[in-house]
Amino acid sequence: MLALGLAVAALAALLDQVSKLWVLQYFGESGCANRMMPVTSFFDFVLTCNRGVSFGFFNQPGQPALGFWIFSVLAALVVIALVVWLFRVRSLLLAVAIGLVIGGAIGNVIDRLRLGAVVDFLYFHVGAWYWPAFNLADSAICLGVAAMLLDGLLLRRSAPQAKGKEDLSR
């Protein structure tokens, strides 16, 4: 399952980076800028940069260096922990889920290293309610976490059997 999880991670990071390069080219920018193109009554295609975490949380433009280091190191630690977990995974769904989170985290760290912030471009809204702009890496992370929850909470596995005579079911 390690190879599957790492392949999913690589694909998620690659698709994320390709989509962000396309967005930058579409808006004619080489780095962070603020651009917006309305598409529908509920969706705008934007170019914005986030120095915080997923979906714009903790985005504080006045302290970019602090956010850069904190969130880059935190993401690297999460990736290391997830790769260690991936070594032990036996579930196909869980391997894919962990791969999505790893790939999304790597995609956003690449942006931080390259641009000092994460490129976001999907902006949904309903009436006066606006969801923070996000990207494919954020989507991969959310889908991965949702799949982890599904795997852990809803999918039943048989309990490991005791090797001795002791009863571990109590």
- pLDDT exceeds cutoff 90 at 97: yes
What's the pLDDT score for residue 168?
A: 43
Boundaries of every domain in the chain: 2-153
CA atoms of 38 and 118, how far apart (whole Å): 21
> What DSSP assignment string belongs to 29-56?
-SS---EEEE-SSSEEEEEEEESSSGGG
DSSP classification of residue 27: T
* pLDDT (tens digit per residue) in 105-136: 999 999 988 988 899 999 999 988 998 899 99
- pLDDT exceeds cutoff 90 at 54: no
Question: By percentage, how much of the chain surpasses pLDDT 90?
Answer: 62
The residues annotated with a catalytic role in the active site are 120, 138
* pLDDT (tens digit per residue) in 38-49: 999 999 999 998
**Taking residues 7-32, what's their average pLDDT?**
96
